[in-house]
Amino acid sequence: MNLLVTGGCGFIGSNFIRQRLTEKDSPLAKLVNLDALTYAGNPANLADLADDPRYVFAHGDIGDAALVARLLAEHQIDAVVNFAAESHVDRSIDSPEPFLQTNVIGTLRLLNGAKQHWTGLPASKKGAFRLLHVSTDEVYGSLAPGAPAFTEQHNFEPNSPYAASKAASDHLVRAYQHTYGLPTLTTNCSNNYGPYHFPEKLIPLMILNALEGKPLPVYGDGMQIRDWLYVEDHARAIWLVLQKGRIGETYNIGGLNEQPNLEIVKTICSLLDQKVPRADGTSYTSLITYVQDRPGHDRRYAIDCTKINQEFGWSPAESFASGIEKTVAWYLTHREWTADITSKKYARERLGTKT
């Protein structure tokens, strides 16, 4: 298989690429990573794989129709996995337009390129081609306490500009399958965590702030509930859907772990208390600081992943206890990576293009 991955230098995309290139007996002949290297796209996430002869990095935007068309044709792409997205809710509240540009217009142009490429494939390859679009549970809106978790049949009720842009992209993917017959798949995941997570997100932010003795900012009362999914479990699920998913279907991927944000922060503090105790003997929990809540903050997300479990036998391999311990340990042993991120050093360093 020749695989095109978009947004592969981001958090989830880089974990997916790493898993695909390091697995035993990988079926990949070539993996092309197209990434615009915006603020959260970090080539250091994959620096140790840059010399793999199967790996090709292309610096560019999914909205660049000519580039997308060239990569699809030149590398004889058999499947596309689209991770490319602006994904931070706070940033979307401050400035929605970049989210519409990447998540909606960018996805539209990627779909157009994939459709043209797929249409011209010989019959032997045309039937096997797939485009998998990676999305979020935030398209479904907010759940009331005690309400059933989101299934694939749940209505879209996005509540932030980010969620609205992802909902629009999901609808476009569905429309291209229904109207043109393009063989698409969509996955909607819950909150991911794990290695290479960009430091402005909740879990890495709390780890790094705690280590630096900075306040641990918690929105409102901290009782917003999220379902936390270890990123390697998510990557494994995406690969299963790409290989086995039914064309036109959506698959929800969740961690089966609902917890309030405040409990997540306290768990991180407890692990750090054990692993790197503070010099004055106080707990890291003393750094927790409550701040004004985010506008329109969704109260609860939860994913029902019965469908992917029944069809493919998938379920998360990591419990939250095991996953968060691995995550904290990773950040403790990769301080140079986080220092480069926080100093913005990575923005000045780009891998050479191999296309």
Please identify every residue annotated as catalytic: 137-138, 162
Distance (Å, whole) CA 83 – CA 7? 5
Residue entry with tokens 């600081």: 289
Q: Are strands 184-189 and 55-59 parallel, antiparallel or unpaired?
A: unpaired
Distance (Å, whole) CA 67 – CA 34? 9
How many residues does this entry show for the chain? Answer: 355
State how far the alpha carbon of 112 is from the alpha carbons of 72, 115, 188, in Å: 12, 5, 22
Q: Which amino acid is at 240?
A: L
Number of H helices, E strands in the chain: 13, 12
Structure tokens, 181: 């017959």
CA Rg, the chain, in Å?
20
State how far the alpha carbon of 76 is from the alpha carbons of 9, 72, 299, in Å: 21, 6, 44
Helices (H), the chain: 11-22, 65-74, 89-94, 97-100, 107-119, 123-126, 161-180, 202-211, 231-244, 261-275, 306-312, 320-333, 335-342
How far is CA 206 from its chain centroid? 19
Count of CB atoms within 10 A of residue 194's CB? 24
State how far the alpha carbon of 341 is from the alpha carbons of 77, 145, 205, in Å: 32, 37, 12
